[in-house]
Amino acid sequence: MSDEDLPKSINGGNRLQMINEEGSMDCVVSIDFIKKMLGGELPKVPIKDENRKVIWDRIPETDARGNAKKDGDGNIIYKTRKNKDGSVATDAKGNPIYKRKIRTREMSPSELRNYLIKREIIGPNAKANIIGYRIPTQAQSSIHALRIVDILPAVNDTVILPAEFTKITGSDFDIDKLFLSCVQYKTERSEGEDGKYHQNVTDEFEETDDVYYRNQLIKDYITVLLDKDPTTGRPRNGHLSHRPIDNDTAMLKQIIRDIESNKGAVSEVPFGFYTLTAQTASKNDYITGKIGIGPFALNNNNHILTMMYGVSFKTTKTGIMDKLGLTRLDNKTD
């Protein structure tokens, strides 16, 4: 999705920066994507009654399946606080003191946006925390460090990027796919009997947690992509990561034109596209893709189709696919 027609509600209606002050690229992602970044759960806020007081809920006893336990009369059994000797704690009137928790709800899109901007996870003061890479990856310009500047109140993994991104990465709207790998966060919560509710979103994990190492890898990749020359303050690889790969193709085509300039011109037949020869050639292009990339990319999301129709490359005597045993796509499994 392009940034050329952003409404005022998204990033103030401003175009996204292809190269921001950090050297990364601005992007806008959906709430669903943010939810995955946060471990599958959005931050929460306490629910209050009409008097603006926090609503508390008793905590039920549960069985092995997580179902609330009930007594002989069908009433739910709630957890009680215990004294040091193990007896049930009671108030001044002799009533048992039950364990309780604050009733909460997930943040609304506007609440979530303000919360994440304040903590500099998104917004103008945020740092790159996503790697966006195009499949197939053809050059360094196929990979970029992304900074989230705003969120989109939409479902699914939607991302909005600068309009120039398509040309930079060489995407052509056929089988190309954009994958996002992000730093993982978690929400830490605590609440007190005084009704105060505390939560914090952090990307710090214990070294015993595999998320710690995944985060370190992504952060290391981002560091390399944004590595700056200390003398100029500019990214060392900016000339490579922001140079469209089609520019190299155009340069090679121009060289060939110069070499073959003394040869006779080839004329195109009017409406030649509708001839049987042209139609057959187009069909083969659509089936095989660029040097066989097509079936592989389609196989990525549609493996069951390759199994049903026996998708495979044509066998040859000297083909690299034959030597590697990769001609058959329908029998490849993870």
Written as one string, the DSSP assignment of 232-255 is T-SBTTHHHHTS-HHHHHHHHHHH
Same domain, yes or no, for 120 and 206? yes
Residues 113 and 171 in one domain: yes
The boundaries of the domain holding residue 276 are: 272-324
The answer to whether residues 28 and 157 belong to one domain is: yes
Identify whether residues 187 and 281 lie together within a single domain. Answer: no
State pTM to two decimals. 0.67
pLDDT band at 131 (very low <50, low <70, confident <90, very high): very high
In a domain, 96, yes or no: no
Q: How confident is the model at residue 297 (pLDDT cuts 50, 70, 90)?
A: low
Helices and strands counted in the chain (H then E): 10, 11
Please identify, among 202, 225, 248, the residue that sits at the C-terminal boundary of a domain.
225
Q: Do 153 and 26 share a domain, yes or no?
A: yes
Residue 34 and residue 140 in one domain: yes
Residue 84 lies in a domain: no
* Confidence bin at 36 (pLDDT 50/70/90): very high
* Residue 1 pLDDT grade (very low, low, confident, very high; cuts 50, 70, 90): low
Q: Are 312 and 174 in the same domain?
A: no
First CA to last CA distance, the chain: 31
Give per-residue pLDDT as tens, 64-75: 998 999 999 999
CA 230 to chain centre: 31
Task: For residues 220 and 276, state if they share a domain.
Answer: no
Q: Are residues 319 and 175 in the same domain?
A: no
Give the number of domains in the chain. Answer: 2
Residues 31 and 148 in one domain: yes
